[in-house]
Structure 1
Amino acid sequence: MAVAEPEGTARRRAPRVDAIRNREAIIEAAAAVLAEQGTSVDVREIARRSEVGMGTLYRHFPKKEDLVHTVLRKDFSEWAESARQTAIDAEDPWTALTDFYQQALTGYARHRAIMENFALTWSVPDLEGIQQLRLVIEELCARTAAAGLLRPGVTTDDLLLLLVSLGHAVQVTDECRPQMWHRLLRISLDGLRADHREPLPIDTAPGSVSRLLRK
């Protein structure tokens, strides 16, 4: 026999359900606005789209930076996972490498807030996000090298830093010449092919790009 709950229990639980729903609405609205307008967006626009008051927004996210970090960590993980899955789906190692860059940079170009943080400072997402990408690139580097398709001497750090560099290209050309980065990607990938056998310049201070970018 079910035990009747004390009167008022459901009423006390309602705010908790509302709070969860409000938080989800805020994050969903913030994700859309940050992708469209970047991190300079006014939080009042986020509150308007999520249909909550400013007081509710600030109860969940006392600082704008808290909301930005929450959204970008989630969106960055989804972006990196999408690029990873694209690489996995390609059986040919070189196609996997090229599809990874194409997917990563296409998704990147569609998300202004990720573009601002990834290309400029890497402060958001944090090192964990960078490592997520590094693992994918490490596997791609190994696959193409084992197949004899990758230029001798190219390392995981080279490929990771190339993604950062192309990210800068996306940012500076996105509005004035939105297709320019596709040309630069093709030029860069051609330079990675195994038929280019000239020795690469020696890195006189080798180290993890992830560690360098954290400084």
Structure 2
Amino acid sequence: MPRADARRNRDRILEVAAQVVAEQGTAASLRDIARRAGIGLGTLYRHFPHRDDLLEALLRRRFTRLAERADALAATPPERALTEWLYEFTLGAGAYQGLPATLMATLHDPQSPLHAACLTMRQAGGRLLAAAQESGTIRSDVTPVDLFALTNALGWIADQAPTLAERQEHLFRLVMDGLRPPTHQA
């Protein structure tokens, strides 16, 4: 069990990190986080040895909520469940500047703490995808990685071109249209 001062330091780091990452994005200065938290950089690294450890701690609750939300949506019609879940994921992917690129970078890096945290969420989304595919409402050739990449791309677009953020809902509908099976052969 960590000492009380260590728990306070960790909680303070996370509180300040949430603010700094919201301001500066996922590449926020760890030195700035430590300074604002009133601790030394060594203390920050003792709690979070790598940037991904800190980001995982900041995002864990969101990823867990999305996984739980997928389970709750499983009782609704499959296409609606997938659409609602993906929309929530897409909105969350834009929570921090740089987050879509950070999440994509951890996709095939099992050593990253973010990889493990994302995996449960991606698997939950994959279950919704499989149900929608079984119902025939989503193309059978779409993989969970495809889904993750496409929805992250929407967050990345808003991240890179804030002027397109107002079109995010339209872009989301375009992605959903592309996920549906063609109604006729060309």
TM-score category by the smaller chain? 0.7 to 0.9
Compute the displacement of 1:98 (Å): 0.9
User: Contact 1:34/1:113 (CA < 8 Å) preserved in 2?
Assistant: no
CA distance in 2, matches of 1:125, 1:36: 23
Partner of 1:163: 151
Confirm or deny that 1:86 pairs with 2:69.
yes
Judge which range, 100-109 or 144-153, deviates more.
144-153
Residue 103 (structure 2) pairs with residue 115 (structure 1): no
Residue 58 (structure 1) aligns with: 42
Partner of 1:35: 22
Instruction: Output the aligned Cα RMSD.
Output: 3.0
For residues 190 and 77 of structure 1, the distance between their equivalents in structure 2, rounded to whole angstroms, comes to 30
Following superposition, the deviation at residue 186 of structure 1 comes to 0.6
Percent identity between matched residues is: 28
Structure 1 counterpart of 2:130:
142
Q: Secondary structure at the match of 1:177?
A: helix
- Change in Cα spacing, 1:19 to 1:169, as seen in structure 2 (3 Å) is same
Q: Could you tell me how far 1:166 is from its partner in structure 2?
A: 2.6
How far does the alpha carbon of each residue in 1:113-133 deviate from its partner, in whole angstroms, 9 at most, with x for none? 5234125x3366543234223
Displacement of 1:49 in angstroms is 4.0
Q: 1:128 and 2:136 equivalent?
A: no
Pairing partner for 2:52 from 65, 69, 78: 69
**Between structures 1 and 2, the one with greater helix share:** 2
Runs of 4+ off more than 6 Å:
none
Provide the C-alpha distance between the structure 2 equivalents of 1:59 and 1:86, rounded to a whole number of angstroms.
Answer: 35
**Unmatched 5+ stretches in structure 1:** 1-15, 200-215
Distance 1:160 1:116 in 2: 12
Deviation at 1:99, TM superposition (A): 1.2
Shift of 1:67: 5.5
CA distance in 2, matches of 1:188, 1:22: 43
Residue matched to 1:183: 170
Q: What's the offset of the Cα at 1:44?
A: 5.1
Find the residue that maps to 1:148 and give its secondary structure.
Answer: coil
Higher Rg of the two aligned structures: 1
Unmatched segments (≥5 aa) in structure 2? none
Give 1:162 shift: 2.0
Q: Distance in 1 between matches of 2:172 and 2:6?
A: 45
Provide the residue aligned with 1:211 in structure 2. Answer: none
Higher relative contact order (CA 8 A, sep 6+): 2
